[in-house]
A = this chain, B = another copy of it.
Amino acid sequence: MATMRDVADRAGVSIATVSFVVNNTKPVSASTRERIEAAMAELGFRRNVVARALASRRTRILALAYPALEHRLSTSAVEFITSAAREASSHDYHLVVWPVSNDSAELADLVGQGLVDGVLLMEVQLDDPRVGLLQSMGMPFALIGRTEDPTGLDYVDIDFDTSLELCVSHLWDLGHRRIALISGDQSVPSFERYGPYVRMDQAYRRIANERGFEEIVLGVRSGARYGREIATELTRIAPDVTGVVIFDEPAAAGLLAGLHTLGRRVPEDVSVVSAIAAIDQAFACDPPLTAVTAPGVELGLLAVQALVRRLEGGTPLPPQLRTGSFVLGESTAPPPASGRRRAATRRTS
């Protein structure tokens, strides 16, 4: 890398003079400036981004605030981070990762340093103290996820309604009428008001109400071992359930294993659909899971676009809700005969 010293030597001036030109800190005669700029071009010297940042009051750095709480959507997090970094790069921005907690003190400290032009907030909660903080600090931001009332905010999020609708419709069309939702356990402190769980619950209750089936909701902690436990609990409290939508990827695999251990065959006895799954994870299961995938790559890209538009004075990007793809695995089939009675009756009527 050509240094200022190299440029100075080539141009026959002092390093200080080069610095005056690079950092625009002092006037320099036109001929000297010309010599220095020629030397910089020859040597491939790049005007330092730090100097540029100081001059423009823009660092062209964005932060991704990635809370250190247990990461529920972790399987798509790498996809998300790399997609966001790539999109930032295509707009000539850098992306720093801030592994901060969901409380706002740490974030305030980082924002106050003046390093970044804007912030992407991940793992947004319904009442998220970070939103008010960033507003009060005048720091542009975009949400991945959304607060209870995100009016006026820039956000991108999973379309939980459509995602769950895809899962339930698939089971319903196969003839299932006893359909349970296994969602996140909101009794875990950091997930009390965790948007994805709340929205998934709401979507399920709305759909159950519309279609007229009984609501059966269980909460599961993230992790395969908890999935195994929930298989036992589900079988105990609702043995006649024939269709399950599960919204936790590690737990989904554990659920399959747990049902297997209990002698309940998937899909012959119970059908299982994974909501917001990483496709490869779903296909790693036995049997491969029917799933609606997480739109991690797309959300990473859109979140950066929303923020960049805000920073550069473009038309704000309207809120973006996205659904992943429906992927048919081998974990779903029509319900067993007894459970299919209603559907069969209907078919013959």
Tell which of B74, B82, B96, B139 touches A94, judged by Cβ atoms closer than 8 Å: B96
Bound together, the chains give a CA A75 to CA B288 distance in angstroms of: 19
Residues of A within 8 A of B (CB): 1, 3, 23, 25, 44, 46, 48-51, 53-54, 59, 61, 66, 68, 71, 74-75, 77-78, 81-82, 85-86, 89, 94-99, 111-115, 137-139, 223-225, 227, 250, 252-254, 256-257, 260, 280-281, 283-288
CB pair B115–A94 under 8 Å, yes or no, is: yes
CB pair B224–A137 under 8 Å, yes or no, is: no
Can you list 5 A-B contacts (CB < 8 A)?
A: A1-B138, A89-B98, A224-B284, A250-B284, A253-B253
CB pair B250–A280 under 8 Å, yes or no, is: yes
Bound together, the chains give a CA A256 to CA B288 distance in angstroms of: 12
CB pair A257–B287 under 8 Å, yes or no, is: yes
Tell me how far the C-beta of A123 lies from the nearest C-beta in chain B, rounded to whole angstroms: 12
CB within 8 Å for A78 and B86 given contacts A137-B1, A256-B286, A280-B223: no
Tell me how far the C-beta of A33 lies from the nearest C-beta in chain B, rounded to whole angstroms: 19
Bound together, the chains give a CA A77 to CA B97 distance in angstroms of: 13
CB within 8 Å for A112 and B71 given contacts A82-B97, A85-B98, A280-B224: no
Q: Which residue of B lies closest to A112 (CB)?
A: B46
CB pair A114–B46 under 8 Å, yes or no, is: yes
Tell which of B3, B82, B139 touches A1, judged by Cβ atoms closer than 8 Å: B139
CB pair B48–A51 under 8 Å, yes or no, is: no
Please indicate the chain B residues that have their CB under 8 angstroms from the CB of A97 in the complex: 81-82, 85, 95-97
CB pair A285–B71 under 8 Å, yes or no, is: no
Bound together, the chains give a CA A114 to CA B49 distance in angstroms of: 6
Bound together, the chains give a CA A184 to CA B81 distance in angstroms of: 25
Please indicate the chain B residues that have their CB under 8 angstroms from the CB of A257 in the complex: 284-288
Bound together, the chains give a CA A53 to CA B114 distance in angstroms of: 11
CB pair B99–A227 under 8 Å, yes or no, is: no
Bound together, the chains give a CA A260 to CA B115 distance in angstroms of: 53
Bound together, the chains give a CA A283 to CA B66 distance in angstroms of: 25
Bound together, the chains give a CA A198 to CA B231 distance in angstroms of: 41
Please indicate the chain B residues that have their CB under 8 angstroms from the CB of A66 in the complex: 82, 85
Bound together, the chains give a CA A46 to CA B44 distance in angstroms of: 34
Please indicate the chain B residues that have their CB under 8 angstroms from the CB of A138 in the complex: 1, 3
CB pair B99–A86 under 8 Å, yes or no, is: yes
Bound together, the chains give a CA A51 to CA B114 distance in angstroms of: 9
Tell which of B54, B81, B286 touches A286, judged by Cβ atoms closer than 8 Å: B286
CB pair B112–A1 under 8 Å, yes or no, is: yes
